[in-house]
Structure 1
Amino acid sequence: MKISDLAERSGISAHTLRYYEKSGLLKASSRGANNYRVYSEDDLNTAKFIQHCKNCGFTLAEITALLAIKHDKSQHVCAEAKSITANKLDEIAQHIERLKLMQNTLKKLAQYCCGGQESAEYCSIITALEEGK
């Protein structure tokens, strides 16, 4: 299949597929006589795997490691995939905590502002941000 077919069937844009190929995540199975990339069903499965990984928040480096495991399962152990996943889970938990702190700070800022049409010279949000509170 051509890249446009792969894009349609995988739900990934042709531009992104080319980026994945340049990054070494995806390789066309072959090239046609016209030198166009030709993709197989295995390439489609790999593209979908990459998309599932991206949806889980894995970085390109982490996806590269997961693809290595996927493509040569007999040379890897489950602990490798588990470790990558556990690390991502910890990273996301930390990110959620930072987002909760940001949310609480923004709620406090919004709570103290009247939101009226008065001059911003006396805006409590601007004052708090200027003071680093």
Structure 2
Amino acid sequence: MNIGQAAKASGVSAKMIRYYEQTGLIPKADRRDSGYRDYSPGDVNMLRFIRRARDLGFAVTEINELLNLWRDRSRHSADVKRIAQSHIFELQDRIKGLNQMVDTLQGLVSCCAGDDRPDCPIIADLEEPSSGSALPAPASVGIGRLRHRP
């Protein structure tokens, strides 16, 4: 099947399939005589695996490890569990950081009159250097990773 069909069947965009090939996450597809990529049912299954792992928030490096374990029928489930447990800890840290952001913003919003006056504690806090903020600065939570959805 061509890349469009593989994308539709796997739920991974053609752009991401090309990216995964370029980075070596998946092997380069076979080519037809016409030069078009040709994907097998096994390739689509691998793309579905990647899509599910991305949906669970695994990083590409973690997915690469999981793919290697998936292909290795003599793997130890302890190795898979270790990767998943590490990812859980990372997600919990990110959730903690997001909750700190919510708490900070809720505190600022509750201090703001929200009227016609120009004085605003939200603006005042944003213009302060991080260390000078009246409210605690949230921990870094990797917002860029939270936004990426192939």
**Is TM-score (shorter-chain normalized) higher than 0.5?**
yes
Structure 1 residue aligned with 2:52: 52
Q: Please give the alpha-carbon distance, in whole angstroms, between the structure 1 residues aligned to 2:106 and 2:114.
A: 13
Q: Please give the alpha-carbon distance, in whole angstroms, between the structure 2 residues aligned to 1:128 and 1:19.
A: 40
Contact in 2 for aligned 1:28/1:43 (Cα 8 Å): no
Report the count of equivalent residues: 130
Contact in 2 for aligned 1:58/1:88 (Cα 8 Å): yes
Whether 1:92 and 2:99 are equivalent positions in the alignment is: no
Superposition TM-score, scaled by structure 1 size: 0.92
Superposition TM-score, scaled by structure 2 size: 0.82
Contiguous gaps of at least 5 residues in structure 2? 135-150
Percentage identity across aligned positions?
Answer: 36
Whether 1:109 and 2:108 are equivalent positions in the alignment is: yes
Structure 1 residue aligned with 2:133: 132
Q: Please give the alpha-carbon distance, in whole angstroms, between the structure 2 residues aligned to 1:114 and 1:73.
A: 62
Contact in 2 for aligned 1:2/1:37 (Cα 8 Å): yes
Report the Cα offset of residue 27 of structure 1: 2.3
Q: Please give the alpha-carbon distance, in whole angstroms, between the structure 2 residues aligned to 1:30 and 1:127.
A: 58
Q: Decide which structure has greater helix share.
A: 1
Larger radius of gyration: 1
Alpha-carbon displacement from aligned partner over 1:11-37 (angstroms, at most 9, x marks no partner): 211111100111112224521111221
1:100 maps to a residue whose letter is N
